[in-house]
Structure 1
Amino acid sequence: MYEAHWNLLRKPFDAKVDAGTYYPSESHQAAALKIHYAIEQRRAVALLCGESGAGKSMLLDSCLSQLSDHFAPIARIVYPAMPADQLLKHIARQIGPQASDSTHDLCCSIELIERILRHNVSQDCHAVLAIDEAHLLQQFGTLETLRLILNLANDNCAYESPITLILCGSPSLISHLSKHSSLEDRVAVRCLIERFSFEDTVAYIQHRMRAGGCSRDDVFDMRAMEAIQMLAQGIPRRINRLCDLSLMIGFAQELRFVSSATIESAHLELSSHRRVA
C-alpha cells in the first residue's frame, strides 16, 4: 500500500526473509560460523539460543540453505512440544520419506530412525536435525530421548555422530540442558545471539530499505533511528513492526521522512494493540 510513496519495489520489513533481505549482524555471523563448523565437522550437538524475535530462525534457514548435498537429509521440527513417542515418529517422517504415517510405538520409531541413519552413513551422507523452540522439550522430558538418536548407527560412523542435532531456543534452554549432562557433554558449539547495537540497528534498517528497492538512506532520520533502538531494544522482529507501521503512517500523512514522532506514534499504536489482546 505504501510502497509507491517511498519509491519501494516491495515492503522492506515483511516477516518473510530471503537471501536479499537477510542481514547478519556480527553476532549472527559468529553464530553462523559455529553452526557451519558443527555440521561440517559432523559434531553431535549445536546450541543456538536467543530471545524471541532475535533472528534465530532466519539464521538457521540461511545456514541450512548453504549446505552441500553430502549433508542430507535435513529435517526441521518447528514445534517439538509433544510426548517422546510422537516426537520420534515425527522425526522419522522428517528424515525418511519412506516412513509410514501409521502408528508406531517408541521402539518402532527408534528402529526406523536407526535404519535410516545406517543407510545414510553407508552413502557417506550426514543428517541434520534442527529443532526450533527446543526449550519446550523440557515440558515433556524429551531432551534425554534426543540423546538416544545420537547413539543410533554410531558404530558404523567414522565421526562423532551420524547426525548433527541443532537445538534452537530461548536462553532458558541452556539451564534445561545443564540438567542432562550426558546430552550437554555432546554439545560442540554454543551460540548466543545478542541484541542489535545502535550501529547494527541503523545498518539493518538501511539494508532492509535498500533490499526493498529504496535508493534513499535518509527516510528514517537519526533521531528516528535512536527512537527505534530505544523502543525495540535491538530486537529485529520489533524493529520490523515499528518500521513497517511507521512507513504506513508516513504514507497516510504524506511525509517525506520518518521522524522520531512518527516512530513514537507507531509504538503507541502497537502497544495499545497488545493491551487489547
Structure 2
Amino acid sequence: MYLDYFSLNKEPFSLTPDTRFFLDSGPFKNALETLMVAVDNGEGFIKITGEVGTGKTLLCRKFLNSVSGDIVTSYIPNPNISPKILLLALAKELGVKSAVGVNEYSLHQLITAKLITYYNANKKVILCIDEAQAMPDETLESLRLLTNMETERSKLIQVVLFGQPELDEKLALRHLRQLRQRVSFSFKLERLNKDVMINYITHRLVMAGFSSSELFHQSALNLLYRYSRGIPRLINILVHKALILCYGKGQRQISKAIMKQAIADTEDAYIEKKQRHYYQRVIPGGLALAGAMAIGYRMLS
C-alpha cells in the first residue's frame, strides 16, 4: 500500500523471517557468532532461547544460510511430534532412502549409516530444531539417544535447539537432566535496547530502498521503544501500521500521534491494563479509523 509513497522496493517490516534483513550487530550478531563457534567445537547440544518475537527463527535461517559447504544441515520447524516421526523427518532431511514403513530400530540404523557416510566424506551434520519447547519429553529423550552416535573422536550429529524460555523450564526437569548436561553452548536472545532498536529500524529501511530524511519524530521513537518493549516482532508490527497511517494522512514523518494510533490498534503493545484502557478510550478507532482516512485521502488526491 505504502511502498511507492515512501519509495520502497520491498516491505521492510514484514513478519516473514527474511534473512536479507538480518541485522549483523547487537544480540543477533552475538548469537550467530556463538552458533558458529559451537559448530566448530563439534560437541553436544547448542541451545538458543528467547521470548516470543525476539528473532529466533530469523537467526536459525541466517545460521543455516551461513554455514560452510562442508556442513550438512537439516531443519525441523515443528517438533511437536512423536519419536518415530522425528526420526522419519530427520531421515528425509538427510536424504535417507527406504525410511518409510520401517520400525524405529531400523530407522536408527539407516540414519547412522548415512551419518557415517557423511563423516567419511569429512562433512559435519547439524540438526536445527525450531520451537523446541513444544517437543514432547519422549521425543527429546529420543533426540538425546540419537546424539549418542559417535566415533572415537567426534559426534556424528550436532543438534541446535531454538526455543522460548519454556525450553529452559522443560530441561530443568529431573528426568531430562541427561539431555541438559549435554548442552555445551547456550545463548539467550535479549530484547533490543533503544540504540539497537534504532539501528534495527534504519537497517531494514535502507535494505528496502528508503533514502529520504528522518522518518520518525523523536517522540514517536520514544513511544515505539516503550510499547514494543524492544521486541523485534512488535517493532515490525507497530512501524508497519504507522507507515500505513502516514500514507493515509498524506504525511511523510511518523509523529507521536500516529504512533499512538498504531499502539492503540495493537493489543500486545500495551504494558498494563490501565494503559490499554487509556489508549482505547482516547483513541477509540485504531486502524479502522485510519483505513477510512487512507481511502478518503486517496480519493481526494
Q: TM-score when scaled to structure 2?
A: 0.84
Task: Report whether the alignment pairs 1:132 with 2:130.
Answer: yes
Partners of 1:25 and 1:196 within 8 A in 2? no
CA–CA distance in structure 1, aligned partners of residues 192 and 213 of structure 2: 19
Q: Which moved more, 1:169-178 or 1:99-108?
A: 99-108
Following TM superposition, the consecutive aligned residue runs of length 4 or more in structure 1 with deviations greater than 3 angstroms are 16-20
Superposed counterparts of 1:1-277, under 5 Å? 1-72=1-72, 74-95=73-94, 97-100=95-98, 102-137=100-135, 139-152=136-149, 154=150, 156=151, 158-159=153-154, 161-179=155-173, 180-271=176-267
- CA shift, 1:140, in A, is 4.7
- Judged with a 3 Å threshold, the aligned counterparts in structure 2 of structure 1 residues 140 and 184 are, in CA distance, closer, same or farther, namely closer
Partners of 1:206 and 1:217 within 8 A in 2? no
CA–CA distance in structure 1, aligned partners of residues 246 and 79 of structure 2: 41
CA RMSD of aligned residues (A): 1.9
Q: Which moved more, 1:215-224 or 1:142-151?
A: 215-224
CA–CA distance in structure 2, aligned partners of residues 99 and 203 of structure 1: 46
Partners of 2:51 and 2:165 within 8 A in 1? yes
- Judged with a 3 Å threshold, the aligned counterparts in structure 2 of structure 1 residues 51 and 24 are, in CA distance, closer, same or farther, namely farther
Partners of 2:91 and 2:99 within 8 A in 1? no
Higher RCO, 1 or 2 (CA under 8 Å, sep at least 6)? Answer: 1
Partners of 2:141 and 2:179 within 8 A in 1? yes
Q: What do residues 170-198 of structure 1 show as CA deviations (whole Å, max 9, x unaligned)?
A: 01111212332221222111100000111
Partners of 1:56 and 1:168 within 8 A in 2? yes
Q: Which moved more, 1:210-219 or 1:49-58?
A: 210-219
- Judged with a 3 Å threshold, the aligned counterparts in structure 2 of structure 1 residues 58 and 231 are, in CA distance, closer, same or farther, namely same
Q: Find the structure with the greater CA-based Rg.
A: 2
Partners of 1:80 and 1:132 within 8 A in 2? yes
- Judged with a 3 Å threshold, the aligned counterparts in structure 2 of structure 1 residues 196 and 113 are, in CA distance, closer, same or farther, namely same
Partners of 1:71 and 1:128 within 8 A in 2? yes
- CA shift, 1:120, in A, is 1.2
- Judged with a 3 Å threshold, the aligned counterparts in structure 2 of structure 1 residues 100 and 221 are, in CA distance, closer, same or farther, namely farther
- Judged with a 3 Å threshold, the aligned counterparts in structure 2 of structure 1 residues 8 and 116 are, in CA distance, closer, same or farther, namely same
- CA shift, 1:17, in A, is 4.4
CA–CA distance in structure 1, aligned partners of residues 267 and 170 of structure 2: 32
- CA shift, 1:129, in A, is 0.1
Partners of 2:17 and 2:57 within 8 A in 1? no
- CA shift, 1:104, in A, is 2.7
Matched length: 268
Q: TM-score when scaled to structure 1?
A: 0.91
